[in-house]
Amino acid sequence: MRCLAILKSGRPCRNNARSPDDLCVLHAGARERDGFYGKNLSPDAQQALAAAGQLEGVDSEIAVLRVLIRQVFTLGDVEEARRSIDTLCRTLRAGHALDDRSAQQLQTSLDRVLDTLGEDLGISL
């Protein structure tokens, strides 16, 4: 069964629905998201948050933190963005500890995430 959501283009969503919602994971996540974050996030951030909701465990938390960091920086609160990036780094370390990865892999991952965030935010981290 296909998702019953209608896209902004007016076409129906082509993803498979999950029961009993009759919506795909992305659109069902959007419904859940609107209650908690939806009022404070841009449409692009809402879509990124819905995609983050498809992940599991620490990966989901990391994806949500990245969306929120972008949002805070967009609002001009650089200090809060820096605190949030620190939280992201601690979360990444915890995720790596849970996955039992080496310190070098952690450093490489942190560098990659910070580079990506810096590019997204237009600053050097």
Token pair belonging to 38: 């939806």
On whether the CB atoms of residues 91 and 41 are closer than 8 A, the answer is: no
Domain ranges of the chain: 1-36, 44-121
Concatenated DSSP letters of 32-49: HHHHHTTTTS-HHHHHHH
Residue 64 burial (CB count, 10 A): 19
pLDDT digits (tens, 9 = 90+) for 10-63: 778 888 887 666 777 777 766 555 555 555 667 777 777 777 767 777 777 788
pLDDT digits (tens, 9 = 90+) for 53-108: 677 777 777 888 888 888 888 888 888 888 988 888 888 887 777 666 566 677 78
What pTM was computed for the model? 0.47
Residue carrying structure tokens 């995609």:
51
